[in-house]
Amino acid sequence: MTRVFIAGFQHETNTFAPSLADWPAFQRGDGFPPWSRGAAMLDTFRGVNAPTGGFIDAAASRGWTLVPSGWGGATPSSYVTEDAFERIAGAIVQDLRAAVADPKGLDALYLDLHGAAVAQHVDDCEGELLARVRAVVGPAFPLVASLDLHANVTERMLALADALVAYRTYPHVDMAATGERAAQMLVRRLRAGTREPLAWRRLPFLIPLPAQSTWMAPADACYARLGELDEAHASMPSFCMGFPAADFAECAPAVWAYGDQAQRSVDALFEQVADPSIWRLDVLQPEDAVRQALALPGDKPVVIADTQDNSGAGADSNTTGMLHALRAQGAGPQHPDRVVVGMLYDPEAAARAHAVGVGGTFDGHVGRAVPLWAGGPLSDPPFAGRFTVRALADGRCTLKGPMMTGMTTQFRASALLACDGLLIAVVSGKAQLLDREMLRMLGVQPEAMRIVVVKSSNHFRADFTPIACAVLVAKAPGPMAADPADLPWRKLPASTRRRP
């Protein structure tokens, strides 16, 4: 019986963001499950739309025995602290050594990775972790890993893994399917007895995050091509558009594939994606986004993405630019209790709301002014006023939308506040608004809203686009630059920083 060691490490690092990912961040998880180890890890992910969940199901269908280690994920932020990375990597390596020494033996290794993690002491966290596990099992041991579509794939990662496979959707609705594809590549590796030929190419520019959605052009056609290349060449191609806010030398999109026809697949895909002009995307100033939203007819809500304060890309989801724009244009009085902003990370405001209770009021502010990068200008000032508490919750929320289906998030003390006709969903744990259940836990029915402002870049589209009459992308000041050329890069080569 095939015995497969399984572990996971997930972090998307915005090196320009204000908050570090320390060990408590991985213990909390927030939008991710908290750190788990051993059998508890398998219990956490069974039936969940996540790579580990898909791999668990694939292993069961093939009769494999899984040897679980640890899985740790933290909400995207600035650097992973050295302490956090060493705790996670150390636990995985320790468990792997024990599994290799077990008389039952070990046949293969699967890692559920993100691919865009940067630590205080290591620029390429995934490459470093792969090197450490490879040192334990040796160069000929079967090792496959799955990656996020936003991975910044390095030469070291490609050299150390027998196969890497990445998501093909953004919003990431195919995470479990990617775990299944990783299992398919492991089957190919076990049958061949050696690693397959690899071909890869890197794009010489960054793709802005708001332009990467596979729900719209050009990414929709680019990713449809992957399936065609699968059929034509059996090469399992991947295209990572990269995470364009990680300041290290290999931050960039990449395409790669495996097998005898890998080079043909890579060249065909590269030709389709390598024109920088196709990735340009216009975004709106916050005032223009609100003005357009108020002018649109219809009973369905207008969804506005507050893309530069996306905690799914390293921001803290606590800036106030969209709140000020909504107030300035009278959105609340025009549509009282039908304009909502979420999820705003403000543990202090949530605590005050719980102290006064439902129906109570307090004078103060929500949100804060944060540096757009270290030493850079500040975002808008806190949003001040008199707030009425409409609802309270403990922050536990099981997601039901297409992304991360079945996952339970941990926002802790949460509250729905009303001010000047606006509703503000305040939480004590950071996670982007990507599922309607996050609002429903505070009594907000998204379908009944006139305007829904989501602190997200693209993941919201999977669950919110079906109920929206329009989706607008706004560029209120925040730490996740919609245009990566706006960032003060230091390590990234100048040739890669140019605007598409």
Whole-model pTM: value is 0.92
In this prediction, residue 281 carries a pLDDT of 81
- What's the Cα-to-Cα distance from 302 to each of 251, 293, 401, rounded to whole Å? 34, 6, 18
What would the mean pLDDT of 33-45 be, rounded to a whole number?
Answer: 95
What would the mean pLDDT of 92-112 be, rounded to a whole number?
Answer: 97
Q: pLDDT tens across 109-121, in order?
A: 999 999 999 999 9
DSSP 3-state of 186: helix
For the chain, give the mean pLDDT: 96
| % of the chain exceeding 70 in pLDDT | 99
What would the mean pLDDT of 65-87 be, rounded to a whole number?
Answer: 97
Residue 495: pLDDT band (50, 70, 90) is confident
Record the tokens describing residue 65, joined without a space: 């025995």
More confident residue, 374 or 444: 444
What would the mean pLDDT of 52-63 be, rounded to a whole number?
Answer: 98
Q: Is the pLDDT of residue 500 over 70?
A: no
More confident residue, 83 or 431: 83
In angstroms, the first-to-last Cα distance of the chain is 50
> Which of 3-7, 16-20, 349-353 is predicted least confidently?
16-20
CATH architecture of 3-279: 3-Layer(aba) Sandwich (3.40)
* Spatial contact of 196 and 189, defined as CB atoms under 8 Å apart: yes
In the 8-state DSSP scheme, what is residue 371?
B
Other CB atoms within a 10 A radius of the CB of residue 422 amount to: 26
Quote the CA–CA distance of 225 and 239 in Å, as a whole number: 10
In the 8-state DSSP scheme, what is residue 312?
G
In this prediction, residue 270 carries a pLDDT of 97
In this prediction, residue 122 carries a pLDDT of 98
Record the tokens describing residue 411, joined without a space: 């926002």
Instruction: Give residue 27's identity as a one-letter amino acid code.
Output: Q
In this prediction, residue 420 carries a pLDDT of 98
What would the mean pLDDT of 243-267 be, rounded to a whole number?
Answer: 97
Q: Using CA of residue 381, residue 386, residue 392, residue 397, what is the dihedral sign?
A: negative
In this prediction, residue 30 carries a pLDDT of 85
Q: pLDDT tens across 121-171, in order?
A: 999 999 999 999 999 999 999 999 999 999 999 999 999 999 999 999 999
Q: Is the pLDDT of residue 282 over 90?
A: no
Please tell me whether the peptide bond between 343 and the residue prior to it is cis, using omega within 30 degrees of 0.
Answer: yes
Task: Return the H-helix or E-strand segment holding 379.
Answer: none
Domain boundaries of the chain, sorted by first residue: 3-279, 286-481
In this prediction, residue 155 carries a pLDDT of 98
Please tell me whether the peptide bond between 218 and the residue prior to it is cis, using omega within 30 degrees of 0.
Answer: yes
Q: pLDDT tens across 291-331, in order?
A: 999 999 988 999 999 999 999 999 999 999 999 999 999 99
Q: pLDDT tens across 224-241, in order?
A: 999 999 999 999 999 999
What would the mean pLDDT of 72-89 be, rounded to a whole number?
Answer: 97
In this prediction, residue 499 carries a pLDDT of 66
Quote the CA–CA distance of 264 and 259 in Å, as a whole number: 10
Please tell me whether the peptide bond between 377 and the residue prior to it is cis, using omega within 30 degrees of 0.
Answer: no
Directed axis angle between helix 321-328 and helix 286-295, to 10°? 50
